[in-house]
A and B are shown apart, each in its own frame.
Chain A
């Protein structure tokens, strides 16, 4: 369990998993719920697949985990500064019947940019499980890598606090984000990377100033699951730039979940990344720290290939660079 700071530095760091269920003493347990659902004992299962370069910020004190959408980082790359152009975030209903809005888009896709997203009926009084082990050690990748379950440990989502334990998030980090999803209950697990080549590849997170490095496999996917009282999932989107404020979704049957896709993307990378090349877009996550380090002090992922196949494998992380 984390201790000390109010917010984890970029997220899940140090959260060795389970936040206890008995949360009377948890700060935030009495926070107002937007709408008291009429449940009749019914619950609706929610599954949200999250893919992309999101920032995960955990607050033990707040009993919540936030998945934040990054803003552009407007540095001048010609001066060696951090530059990342964000392409936006999509929230798509993969499975479920959209009740609100009454005339949803045909492709069931919403733009949540700018929004603070919460789920009606979700409460801090229930467990929030964010299973993260220790920093990966040799062989630096899951022994089996074929299924989502092989990647469930959130340590496969790279954490800056693994590399820089002293780092802390800036007090105003939320203002540097372009919206976020607030999770107060349920379970978040890592999942198999979206890039096939990244499944077997590992990365050397390297600091240019002194060559220090940490090796690990990395994934850009997580899966969030929870159960919400009532016959539907109600999503509140406060301050969304698109104007959407509320989405209500009923499952197609009582045995089926409501399934959401949350996808965030930034500017495209090179067509193929070769062994030894750096994903500079990772620099954006350091912009949210209270003390933003210079570029040469940031640990950035360098593709090290498939350890079992020397100098092979060419992932194309592109717009979906492994999430933080």
Chain B
């Protein structure tokens, strides 16, 4: 039997950490389903939130089957099992099949699931935080027998109970969410007509150029990539690393190729980031000084995880959630072309690379192939290492988002980012202006 880690038991601890109070209609019943409840799991916490269920036992059965029996027996997830913790959060829906998050099924084909995106994502993120303050990947499991899954550009994945009929769907979908991986489908007809792509598992660098993965090498004994033509739904003009991969064929036990494995591992187990010195906290804030003093040196590293909505068409940003987290992991390897920089006094002190293309949504809609929906908006996770929400409220911190050009494989450290900016190899997409972050955090706290 699964041990209940009911929210009431952890609420006291979490309340001190959470900035964003739960606005979900009902308290969640939280359970750890992987690994066994009595054991400690990995830092990559997947939170599975119920939606449309009125029978908790049915939700437990569906979640356990899809995320433990199916997902954790996939070759990649099984071999990286120690990296993961999976928790479920159940709250009864108002009626069977009715969403508690304002999710609509009218526009599933385009992964446009929420008529009110902001409200929906806020509810989902709040529920995820209620399930685990250190959540990393949020998934909504909906009571619907149709077989459907979709990774939104708001950093959450939607899966129906009906998706349990097909092996590999969630493993594939989390490939999008964890590693920012592209779909490798080609439609057999269309040549690639988009812009340059040379990250993750697709590349437009055709001979005599070489895809980025040819320069990085492999340590898994995998054969050299053969770079067959066809990726991102296009049959020509773009290549993928290997003939087969779970990002091309999700079913039939197809494993991830070595390149996709490497991209996902970069997120699951990133090396310690290279950072500039942390700014000195203001000396007139006694509470912060006290907080620093109270922090024992042996305590696990902490940081702040921000969820920031970025609109590249307007340059506007909105901080939609924030909370202190333990063991924050920041990725600096070039696993995508969009980076964030934490800037203090005009200097980047921390940088992180967002996996893949965060502005894409990916849809699985019952058939063998997925489709991608391009967007101008995305909600992304920003990690501010060695900080606290209190510190950020009190400090003139700025967050900037850049798109990198070229395909320099070097890790994007603060120093590297500076050099790329100076070399005019970046485009600034959006900024959370100095003072705006503090104001947003205060507003969230008072909500």
Q: Which residues of A contact B (CB under 8 A)?
A: 49, 51, 87-88, 90, 92, 94-95, 106-109, 146-148, 191-199, 221, 256, 259, 261, 263, 265, 268-272, 313-320
Contact = CB atoms under 8 A, between A and B. Distances in A.
A148 B145 contact: yes
Interface string B83-112: 000000000000001000000010011000
Contacts of B366: 193-198, 315-318, 320
B369 interface: yes
B367 A316 contact: yes
B75 to A, nearest CB: 11
B185 A107 contact: no
A198 B162 CA distance: 14
Contact of A318 (B146, B148, B368): B368
Given A197-B365, A261-B164, A107 B145 contact: no
Given A94-B61, A191-B145, A196-B109, A269 B252 contact: no
8 contacts: A87-B252, A95-B61, A193-B146, A195-B367, A265-B251, A272-B367, A318-B367, A320-B367
Cβ-closest 9 pairs across A and B:
A316-B367, A195-B366, A318-B368, A318-B367, A194-B147, A107-B73, A268-B368, A271-B369, A271-B187
Given A196-B365, A316-B365, 18 more contacts: A51-B165, A95-B61, A107-B167, A146-B97, A148-B145, A192-B146, A195-B147, A196-B108, A196-B147, A261-B164, A263-B165, A269-B368, A271-B233, A317-B366, A318-B366, A319-B251, A319-B367, A320-B147
B57 interface: yes
B367 A269 contact: yes
B69 interface: yes
A284 B243 CA distance: 29
Given A194-B366, A195-B365, A268-B369, A263 B166 contact: yes
Nearest to A195: B366
Contacts of A108: 69
Contacts of B155: none
Given A195-B146, A263-B166, A314 B368 contact: no
Contacts of B146: 192-196, 199
B212 interface: no
A146 B69 CA distance: 27
Contacts of A146: 97
A205 to B, nearest CB: 20
A316 B368 contact: yes
A319 B147 CA distance: 13
B240 interface: no
Contact of A95 (B65, B97, B185, B367): B65
A84 B228 CA distance: 26
Given A95-B61, A107-B70, A271-B233, A221 B369 contact: no
Contacts, number: 104
A319 B167 contact: no
Contact of A147 (B70, B97, B164, B369): B97
A54 to B, nearest CB: 13
B152 interface: no
Contacts of B329: none
B371 interface: yes
Nearest to A49: B165
- In terms of DSSP, what is the predominant structure of the interface of chain B? loop
A318 B169 CA distance: 15
Contacts of B188: 270-271
Contact of B145 (A192, A268, A269, A319): A192
Interface string B361-382: 0000111110100000000000
Contacts of B369: 268, 271-272, 316, 318
Contact of A94 (B148, B164, B367): B164
A247 to B, nearest CB: 15
B162 A194 contact: yes
A92 B66 CA distance: 12
Contact of A197 (B109, B165, B166): B109
Most chain A C-beta atoms within 10 Å of own C-beta, residue among B73, B97, B185: B73
A96 to B, nearest CB: 10
Given A196-B146, A268-B368, A316-B365, A259 B61 contact: yes
Interface in B138-178: 145-148, 162, 164-167
A18 to B, nearest CB: 24
A38 to B, nearest CB: 27
B365 A261 contact: no
Contacts of B166: 263
A319 B366 CA distance: 9
A39 B248 CA distance: 48
A102 to B, nearest CB: 18
Contacts of B65: 94-95
A272 B166 CA distance: 18
A271 B370 CA distance: 8
A237 B108 CA distance: 39
A191 B97 CA distance: 15
Contacts of A270: 187-188
B421 to A, nearest CB: 40
B57 A256 contact: yes
B97 to A, nearest CB: 7
A128 B241 CA distance: 52
Contacts of B187: 270-272
A106 to B, nearest CB: 5
Nearest to B73: A107
Nearest to A90: B167
A218 to B, nearest CB: 13
Contacts of A109: 167
A321 B97 CA distance: 26
B21 to A, nearest CB: 33
Contacts of A259: 61
Nearest to A194: B147
A259 B164 CA distance: 12
